[in-house]
């Protein structure tokens, strides 16, 4: 298994995937597998590496703790699963990662991204603002769920799992069905997508970047000498940085100017083909991920 990440991180990722084995343990229709969470962790690490942010260590510090966190949704007694609703399974997985600290660093960030990824898998998306979701993750990590009335009531009733039920309550009341008509994508991922169609992003300058068509031309008057690849500008869009999310308006401009539109045979499913959902989620939720690094 490989990821589109830097060489050093790829080597570490490959080491751990070899340690775990080929099976994506704990993966079901409703739950993430161990490779899914490991991928989320390393993509978080890559994002902070690319953006110049900090991460003090990469990879699991205790693989057994990672197994334990991901086994939680599948616990059963007498042949009956303890957590039967998909959102309950999501809640207990999130709680396990954020509290067990299976990774050297970025446990809150990995748990946060894994939660969003699991919701995506359930065709759900959070409805609160990113800051509210970030604050909730911090409450879980810092044992501050007593700010919620439901948690206090569950504790008064001596419920054995007030944290999981409070997280489930929060997710149930703060998610909606996913609208997949638009895909979130960073500028770095857009560049790779355009490369598949013979286009590229080049010449970043100030707050803009050129969208170019790659053509092969001969060096002298276009007819003499060896061929070389050149970029022919077709459009220019705003450009804050490679790790930022591309706005819908910019994507619309790119697709129209390159001819990569549904009317010309390239619908969204084709344009974004093979785009890893975790990359998309990092693009969309990068602000709380950055903030969680300091909380």
- On average, the pLDDT of the chain sits at 89
Enumerate the domain spans of the chain.
Answer: 7-183+278-292, 187-274
Average pLDDT over residues 128-150: 93
- Predicted pLDDT at 222: 53
275: helix, strand or coil: coil
Tokens 């739950």 label which residue?
A: 31
Mean pLDDT of 58-79: 96
Contact 104, 58 (CB under 8 A): yes
Most confident of 46-50, 60-64, 215-219, 245-249: 60-64
Give the residue, 128 or 164, on which the prediction is more confident: 164
Q: Is 143 exposed, middle or buried (0-12, 13-18, 19+ CB in 10 A)?
A: exposed
Question: CA nearest 247: which of 219, 207, 278?
Answer: 207
Q: How confident is the model at residue 50 (pLDDT cuts 50, 70, 90)?
A: confident
3-state secondary structure at position 226 = strand
The predicted-structure confidence for 239-274, as pLDDT tens digits, reads as follows 999 989 999 899 999 999 999 987 776 777 678 776
Among 162-176, 196-210, 261-275, the least confident range: 261-275
Largest CA distance in the chain: 85
Contact of 256 with 250, CB cutoff 8 Å: no
How many C-beta atoms lie closer than 10 Å to residue 254's C-beta? 21
What is the SS3 assignment for 205?
strand
Mean pLDDT of 109-114: 96
What is the predicted pLDDT for the residue at 155?
Answer: 97
pLDDT attached to residue 179: 59
**Taking the alpha carbons of 134, 140, 141, 143 in that order, is the dihedral positive or negative?**
positive
Dihedral sign from CA coordinates of 75, 78, 79, 84: negative
Question: Can you give the pLDDT at residue 290?
Answer: 80
This prediction's pTM: 0.74
What's the angle, vertex CA 277, arms to CA 271 and CA 282, rounded to 5? Answer: 110
Please give the pLDDT value at position 224.
Answer: 57
Architecture of the domain spanning 7-183+278-292:
Up-down Bundle (1.20)
């Amino acid at each position: 298994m490989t990821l589109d990440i830097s060489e050093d991180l790829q080597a570490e990722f490959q080491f751990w995937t070899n340690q775990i084995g080929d099976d994506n343990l704990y993966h079901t229709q409703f739950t993430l597998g161990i490779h899914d969470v490991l991928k989320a962790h390393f993509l978080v690490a890559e994002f902070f590496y690319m953006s110049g942010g900090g991460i003090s260590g990469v990879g699991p510090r205790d693989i057994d703790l990672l197994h334990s966190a991901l086994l939680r949704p599948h616990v059963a007694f007498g042949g009956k699963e303890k957590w039967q609703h998909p959102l309950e399974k999501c809640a207990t997985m999130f709680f396990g990662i954020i509290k067990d600290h299976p990774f050297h660093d970025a446990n809150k960030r990995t748990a946060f991204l894994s939660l969003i990824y699991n919701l995506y898998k359930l065709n759900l998306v959070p409805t609160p603002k990113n800051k509210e979701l970030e604050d909730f993750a911090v409450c879980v990590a810092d044992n501050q769920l007593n700010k919620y009335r439901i948690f206090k009531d569950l504790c008064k009733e001596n419920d054995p799992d007030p944290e999981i039920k409070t997280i489930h309550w929060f997710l149930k009341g703060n998610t909606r069905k996913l609208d997949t008509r638009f895909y979130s994508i960073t500028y770095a991922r857009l560049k790779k997508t355009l490369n598949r169609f013979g286009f590229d992003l080049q010449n970043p300058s100030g707050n803009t970047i050129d969208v170019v068509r790659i053509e092969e031309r001969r060096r002298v008057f276009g007819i003499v000498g060896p061929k070389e690849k050149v970029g022919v500008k077709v459009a220019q869009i705003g450009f804050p940085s490679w790790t930022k999310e591309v706005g819908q308006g910019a994507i619309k401009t790119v697709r129209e100017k390159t001819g990569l539109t549904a009317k010309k045979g390239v619908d969204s499913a084709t344009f974004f083909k093979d785009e890893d959902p975790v990359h998309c989620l990092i693009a969309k939720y990068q602000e709380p991920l950055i903030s969680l690094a300091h909380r």
